[in-house]
Structure 1
Amino acid sequence: MKYIDRILAAWQSIVAALDALQPLAALAARAYVAQAFFLSGLTKIRDWDTTLALFTDEYHVPLLPPQLAAVMGTGGELVLPVLLILGLGGRFAALGLSVVNVVAVLSLPEIAPAALQQHVFWGSLLAGIAVFGPGKWSLERVVWPRITAGLRPA
């Protein structure tokens, strides 16, 4: 019995250590994805004429005119990562970037396997953030309780 108790105690220590790493892991996931999308948005606004040409000739965004798709995609890539990294509206930002991510994959007629794998990885991280939230190290944890406290009836 003592052997099983030692194994269970060791497992509980491992679980406690992993639980302590959750805020850091959530922040790292948010930072990684935010950086990828934000840098893509910066690239688009640096040369807007090329961006419009790409959305007109290369990217085939369903249901949207190329100019509107370019503005929406670039705007999403610049605004949503800031929200994501701050953890402010983290689930909203993760879901919004998921849409940008899926549209990016669907709008390219041919996508290299490595690029597709990168989009799948980003999508997986975004799904985790959307499901589990931005984590303890987020502005949402500070701001949201204050907002909801003001909405409660007195």
Structure 2
Amino acid sequence: MILPLIRLGARSWAPVSRTLDHLQPMAALLARAYVAEGFFLSGLTKVRDWDTTLALFTEEYHVPVLPPAAAALMGTAGELVLPILLLLGLGGRFAALGLSVINVVAVISLPDMAPAALQQHVTWGVLLATLAVFGPQAWSLDHQWVSPRLRASSPNPTDP
């Protein structure tokens, strides 16, 4: 008695599931754009006033292991380069993982972070983890340009 109802329910959800599957590339692109904007703008702010950036890394941000100048340089470079890669979906998983490291270091390095700022970092972290696990999806250079070239250049094990 229950099994026919389950089958009926599964069939009625099939069109919804197909529609959601088609929305995945757009959702991934929106997530990539949202995260990329936040990190890129932060990197631009650091570049615009490098003296203040160095002062912040020296006095306020307590980045573990790295000297303040190296942390400032590496963090700023990451905030400028990785968001572009993420947005384009070129090395999308690499960019998502790199930005995840920057995100975690930012949270660890600033112990007195405002709750709203912490929530923003949590949101970025969830989106970056999702992009790292599922990849940048179909609307990305990885999918449109890199993957076809890799498939074309790899030997086919079924060829004689």
- TM-score (ref. length: structure 1): 0.92
Residue of structure 2 equivalent to 1:82: 84
Write the distance in 1 (CA, Å) between the matches of 2:154 and 2:55: 47
Where 2:90 maps in the other structure, the secondary structure is coil
Write the distance in 2 (CA, Å) between the matches of 1:151 and 1:14: 36
Per-residue CA deviations over 1:68-103 (Å, capped at 9, x if unaligned) read 000000000000000000000000000000000000
Residue of structure 2 equivalent to 1:149: 152
1:111 aligns with 2:113: yes
Residue of structure 2 equivalent to 1:51: 53
What amino acid maps onto 1:111 in structure 2? M
Write the distance in 1 (CA, Å) between the matches of 2:30 and 2:13: 25
Residue of structure 2 equivalent to 1:68: 70
Quote how far apart the aligned CAs of 1:8 are: 3.2
Gaps of 5+ in 2: none
Moved more, 143-152 or 37-46: 143-152
Residue of structure 2 equivalent to 1:100: 102
Quote how far apart the aligned CAs of 1:112 are: 1.1
Where 2:106 maps in the other structure, the secondary structure is helix
Residue of structure 2 equivalent to 1:33: 35
Gaps of 5+ in 1: none
The alignment yields a C-alpha RMSD, in angstroms, of 1.8
* Identity, % of aligned positions: 68
Per-residue CA deviations over 1:33-83 (Å, capped at 9, x if unaligned) read 000000000000000011001000110100000000000000000000000
Residue of structure 2 equivalent to 1:132: 134
Where 2:35 maps in the other structure, the secondary structure is helix
Corresponding residue pairs, total: 153
Write the distance in 1 (CA, Å) between the matches of 2:25 and 2:118: 28
- Which among 16, 19, 25 is matched to residue 17 of structure 1? 19
Write the distance in 2 (CA, Å) between the matches of 1:144 and 1:13: 28
